[in-house]
A = this chain, B = another copy of it.
């Protein structure tokens, strides 16, 4: 094993330990934690704006917005009255469990139902780093092409739910919805799929209900 691979293993192993601590901590406090992942520009922040607007009234929620640089996402989300903290990864391509642990302590977790972590826009690296979340959800925009699940299998394999976003653009792009879902389920047979348009609103009630149901299941444990 080369030194490079060995140290990468150490980094992943330390992250797994931190993630496991996070998972125990969140479970003890009964907060449902969702790790939201996608490539850049798939619409995570717009989706979270709509989610905060509606679910911020139905549940006690907070958001951690991860980005390489800028506080643009947190600024957008702060308008909807839910607690939001920006984590700048300083050029790193993914969030790690220790960053979530550090920031999460700033929220009143005992009085939260739902904590959403918006990961860095990257379809590769974030999938390798467990944050201690309850569920992973990924967003694929239909402008990105239906061939993505086979090409970036890890994120699809690790996510409970696929949000197929920007479906309002389907008439204008070459994207075969059935092919995308078939490709996704080839790497993750149990993957749930909800088709949405975060800008136009299509499918969002199904997404909100999915969250509410998962929060209920997890907090009812």
Which residues of A are interface residues toward B (Cβ below 8 A)? 3-4, 7, 10-11, 39-42, 67-70, 72, 91, 93, 120-125, 141, 143-145, 147-148, 150-154, 166, 168-169, 172-174, 199
- Is A72 a contact partner of B147 (Cβ separation < 8 A)? yes
State how many copies of this chain the complex holds: 2
Q: Which residue of B lies closest to A123 (CB)?
A: B40
A153 contact set on B, CB distance < 8 A? 68-69
Minimum CB–CB distance from A158 to chain B (whole Å) comes to: 13
Residue of B nearest to A174 (CB): B199
Nearest 3 pairs of A and B residues by beta carbon: A41-B144, A143-B143, A93-B124
Are A93 and B93 in contact, with the CB atoms below 8 A? yes
Given contacts A4-B10, A93-B124, A169-B172, contact A143 B41 (CB under 8 A): yes
Can you name the residue of chain B whose Cβ is closest to the Cβ of A141?
B143
